[in-house]
Structure 1
Amino acid sequence: MTLWNLFSWAILLILGLFLIFFLLYCAYIHYIHLKYDHIPGPPRDSFLLGHTPTLMKAMKADSLVHELFLQWSQIYGPVVRVYGLHRVMIIVTSPDAVKEVLLSPTFTKDLVYKNAFNLFGVRFLGNGLVTDRDYEHWHKQRRLMDPAFSRTYLMGMMGTFNEKAEELMEQLAEKADGKAEFSMHEMMSKVTLDVIAKVAFGMELNSLHDDQTPFPRAISMVMRGVGETRNPLIKYSPGKRGFIRDVQDSVRLLRQTGKECIEKRQKAIEDGEEIPADILSQILKSASLEKTCDMEMLLDNFITFFIAGQETTANQLSFAVMELARNPEILEKIQAEVDEVIGSKRDIQYEDLSKLNYLSQVLKETLRLYPTAPGTSRILEKEIVIEGIPVPANATLVFNFYAYGRTEQFFNDPLKFDPERFGPESKRPYFTYFPFSLGPRSCIGQVFSQMEAKVVLSKLLQRFEFELVERQSFDIVDTATLRPKDGVICRLRPRTHK
């Protein structure tokens, strides 16, 4: 037998094996689909790819996948199946399922969280609080972190909230001539970055004063990177190699900075130096007592807190400004409350925050319509019945905050921005409004973020009148968190009190 014949037979053998593997894989997909085809859902784009082409088309068109989920829920009901190759995703808009699943510690976070362990091959969020899928390991971490996020501990951070918010007001005052146009989202991103850096880690980034600091760009790059990873083919695209390198470098910058910050603080503690009473000190103190000072775990949470503490609050504040500018009657009412509670004082006290009831309603309504973290998901370990529909084990349940907040069944006239939904006389939205998730895996930083948001927004309302620049959209862009696409371009002028 000639060498050519051997080569030909080898090629035929490989092709035959590939064909057998492909047919077996198709049979497996058919088996999976048979298990879930009783659940309502949109027609598949193709047998093999399922709904992946529709989802990818929405992402490439800069459309919100979450809007697609909302539409499918409106058409097919509270339990909707979506296929992607052999994986099955179940979009759930059922308050009873929220109560059953999210309040239980037995449901595991799905592979989306596992995929954030690395970002393009560089360790990113690792096994931090957001991404840790092992409940016992997560619970141990959460127990270490809880004291640093208690309401009592955070009351001592009011000085920093006021300090950084005042620096923002000084920057805005320079722009407040009624003519200058600027991105409110950019300004909010800078102040929330400076706050989390100092309050959590004792770092003075001064991004409000220094346009050259690399942190805002690094965070923006990693968030874009997280969003792009939803396209499984991106790492094979030659045109994305430069972008991927930038994302990798940004992750390394954040982790290296975190390592230096943690080591510096650990040395200060060992040397008996006076250390700031910030979140990092509390975390290291608790970790030392538990004898679990693992650097990689500390770095995972450094990155988690840095990004979550900056990005989501900046987005919420930007959306709030956007809606207040679009609704002058709401703006007038919230300004009246700020005038009554805060007056002209510059140092806002913790006790003042609980008196800003209408401002709290505005912030809650902002998160209903624009949930900065758009959803969460869990894996079913055993079959359950949701709204009368059996859902087999191993499916991924998706609880999309965006869809819940915009569903007519849960909120009347859902696209209307109406803070009265959260007024004292209004019916409480049980298991339909949960922007910080619910249950044991709810966001540890929600008190922190809303304290900060109240301080910044009340100072802004106290000092300035603002209007939106014409010809900008009110679209939303998804970069793993939801943010205003055009940045909320505003003009400011000093407020004249009557």
Structure 2
Amino acid sequence: MASVGSLILGWAGYLLLILFGVILVAFVGYVLYVKYIHLKYDHIPGPPRDNFLLGHMPTILSDSRTPGRHINERFLEWAEQYGPVCRINSLHSIFLIVSCPEATKEVLMSPKYSKDPFVYKRLFNLFGTRFLGTGLVTAMDHESWYKQRRIMDPAFSSVYLRGLIDTFNERAERLMTKLSEFADSEEPVHMHKMINSFTMDVITKIAFGVDLDLMNVNDSPFPQAIEMCLKGMVHYIRDPLFQLWSKNKKVIEEIKEACQLLRKTGAMWINERKKAVQSGEEVPMDILTQILKSAEENKKDDDEEIMLDNFVTFFIAGQETTANQLAFAIMELGRHPEILQRLKEEVDDVLGVKQDISNEDLGRLTYLNQVLKETLRLYPTAPGTSRWLAKDIVIDGIKVPGNCAVLFSSYVSSRLDRFFKDPLTFDPERFNVNAPKPYYCYFPFALGPRSCLGQNFSQIEAKVAMAKLLQRFDFSLVPGQSFEILDTGTLRPESGVMCTLKLRGTA
């Protein structure tokens, strides 16, 4: 028996030795591959690596976890120091921060450059729970994306959106009524929270035919669920070790539950719309109807899941970015009383005391349009987009080998002084009709065929809400609050923008 045991131990030791040898060879092979990648791309300017294997990951993770810092600010610093093409290493992968207008035009305006698979495939699920799947934002295949986009277009046409002006007005009136209560009580208002409820009310009503009435409902689970999903996006994409730590298990479960809540809600609302269609009821040609139509035309095995992918995409994107833009605009107006006064004068001149804003009124609010564009220049709520370079390309005189990702950051480009004079100054005159137009360095909604489908929807919504706010209220920022940016995947004002409100015309 002893000899048998010794034989078994001997074989076990032999197998362990072989396993160790295989692991060692694999590790050495990986190290050599990382070295090869370094040699392939190190001619491109970039900051010194923190670590041979990890590259710049330690800095990126540190910025993501440090209060008062966000990674977009680091990208800006690197772009200023290293130029229009800046190399970033992450393990064996390379991505480039590109702030060259010609390259921005070439890559973003062409359908031949697909989205970066590392980022957008990671958004398929969050920690094993399906999230954005293969919906309109994350679809990698151009033909598959184009079919979805073509079907969705009618819900965002200018004619259709003009017909929604009454709904925009009605939802904004609900917001004004709620803000009047704060003005009467003289309590400070968390403006981002209030506007977030407004934009969610708008997207659910206009896109899905559902009235959440968040102005009067304080315990809705949806705002928290969206916040958890956005938090999950940041952790899942930027921190590959996040799910390995036991201390993060609770938040991971909360993120997964948030994804499940949104998808279950989508399934319920989709089924209700299906029943309405089948029973011959008249239904609006809204986003929900277009989602159903897309599934009918594509006829894929997982069409139910794809419908939910698009539901979650529009639910989150349709309210998050506009709410953030409006909150940042209010923050900047509170810091610039002369701009605020000019804006009030324009609103008074165009609207007077009328309650319902028309599409023609929106066209006449030109300075408001400039203010909103300048807000997006400094605070692009979706700060950037990435593409995959399958083949070699020359950018700003630098040969870039293929098989790497490029990041086009509107946050970076819009804050570079080679494109904008005094770039950190809030100046709506940059977007005066007679001012020179930025050349492919301002793209808060991205550019080209994959640009944001809902940008016109978003800006109508923003103009209606802001015009009514300026028409009805005087507001001032509560002293002592932060003006820092909170990075949740999208950009939000860290302070929430706390304001005191007073009805205009009152002492």
State the shift of 1:282 in Å.
Answer: 4.1
Q: Which runs of 5+ in 2 are unaligned?
A: 1-5
CA, structure 1 residues 290+226, in 2 after alignment: closer, same or farther (shift >3 Å)? closer
State the shift of 1:51 in Å.
Answer: 0.7
CA distance in 1, matches of 2:12, 2:60: 41
Pair 1:79 & 2:85 matched:
yes
1:367 maps to which residue?
Answer: 376
Kept after mapping to 1: 8 A contact 2:263/2:308: yes
TM-score w.r.t. the length of structure 2 is 0.96
CA distance in 1, matches of 2:455, 2:27: 47
The 5 A counterparts of 1:479-498 are 479-496=488-505
CA distance in 2, matches of 1:178, 1:394: 59
State the shift of 1:404 in Å.
Answer: 0.5
1:236 maps to which residue?
Answer: 244
Kept after mapping to 2: 8 A contact 1:235/1:241: yes
Kept after mapping to 2: 8 A contact 1:178/1:491: no
CA distance in 2, matches of 1:286, 1:38: 46
SS of the aligned residue for 1:133 comes to: coil
2:339 maps to which residue?
Answer: 330
State the shift of 1:294 in Å.
Answer: 2.3
2:120 maps to which residue?
Answer: 113
Pair 1:299 & 2:308 matched:
yes
Q: 1:124 aligns with which of 111, 114, 131?
A: 131
1:386 maps to which residue?
Answer: 395
1:13 maps to which residue?
Answer: 18
Q: 2:292 aligns with which of 271, 284, 287?
A: 284
The 5 A counterparts of 1:191-340 are 191-229=198-236, 230-285=238-293, 288=296, 294-340=303-349
1:176 maps to which residue?
Answer: 183
CA distance in 2, matches of 1:283, 1:241: 34
CA, structure 1 residues 20+277, in 2 after alignment: closer, same or farther (shift >3 Å)? closer
State the shift of 1:409 in Å.
Answer: 0.3
2:418 maps to which residue?
Answer: 409
Pair 1:425 & 2:431 matched:
no
Matched AA of 2:18: L
SS of the aligned residue for 1:210 comes to: coil
CA, structure 1 residues 271+51, in 2 after alignment: closer, same or farther (shift >3 Å)? same
CA, structure 1 residues 286+15, in 2 after alignment: closer, same or farther (shift >3 Å)? closer
SS of the aligned residue for 1:354 comes to: helix
CA distance in 1, matches of 2:140, 2:32: 30
Matched AA of 1:51: H
Pair 1:453 & 2:453 matched:
no
CA distance in 2, matches of 1:99, 1:274: 43
SS of the aligned residue for 2:364 comes to: coil
Kept after mapping to 1: 8 A contact 2:155/2:285: no
CA distance in 1, matches of 2:443, 2:158: 19
State the shift of 1:223 in Å.
Answer: 1.0
Pair 1:466 & 2:475 matched:
yes
CA, structure 1 residues 494+338, in 2 after alignment: closer, same or farther (shift >3 Å)? same
CA distance in 1, matches of 2:337, 2:209: 39
Matched AA of 1:58: D
TM-score w.r.t. the length of structure 1 is 0.98
CA distance in 1, matches of 2:164, 2:501: 28
Kept after mapping to 1: 8 A contact 2:196/2:319: yes
CA, structure 1 residues 427+52, in 2 after alignment: closer, same or farther (shift >3 Å)? same
SS of the aligned residue for 1:71 comes to: helix
2:451 maps to which residue?
Answer: 442
Kept after mapping to 1: 8 A contact 2:295/2:307: no
CA distance in 2, matches of 1:155, 1:277: 13
CA, structure 1 residues 2+290, in 2 after alignment: closer, same or farther (shift >3 Å)? closer
SS of the aligned residue for 1:88 comes to: strand
Q: 2:353 aligns with which of 344, 355, 364?
A: 344
Deviates more, 1:269-278 or 1:478-487: 269-278
SS of the aligned residue for 2:211 comes to: coil
Deviates more, 1:209-218 or 1:366-375: 209-218
CA distance in 1, matches of 2:292, 2:469: 35
SS of the aligned residue for 1:376 comes to: strand
2:55 maps to which residue?
Answer: 50
Q: 1:155 aligns with which of 142, 147, 162?
A: 162
CA distance in 2, matches of 1:203, 1:92: 41
SS of the aligned residue for 2:87 comes to: strand
1:2 maps to which residue?
Answer: 7
CA distance in 2, matches of 1:301, 1:342: 37
CA distance in 2, matches of 1:476, 1:375: 15
Kept after mapping to 1: 8 A contact 2:326/2:462: yes
CA distance in 1, matches of 2:226, 2:297: 32
SS of the aligned residue for 1:43 comes to: coil
Matched AA of 2:20: L
Kept after mapping to 1: 8 A contact 2:85/2:99: yes
Please list the CA deviations of residues 260-289 of structure 1 after superposition, one character each: whole Å capped at 9, or x if unmatched: 111111111111113245332244346546
1:477 maps to which residue?
Answer: 486
State the shift of 1:6 in Å.
Answer: 2.7
RMSD of aligned residue pairs (Cα, Å): 1.5
How many residues end up aligned between the 2 structures? 498
Kept after mapping to 1: 8 A contact 2:474/2:502: yes
CA distance in 2, matches of 1:332, 1:243: 44
Please list the CA deviations of residues 413-458 of structure 1 after superposition, one character each: whole Å capped at 9, or x if unmatched: 0000000000011000010111000000000000000000000000
State the shift of 1:60 in Å.
Answer: 1.3
Q: Which runs of 5+ in 1 are unaligned?
A: none
1:141 maps to which residue?
Answer: 148
Kept after mapping to 1: 8 A contact 2:148/2:294: no
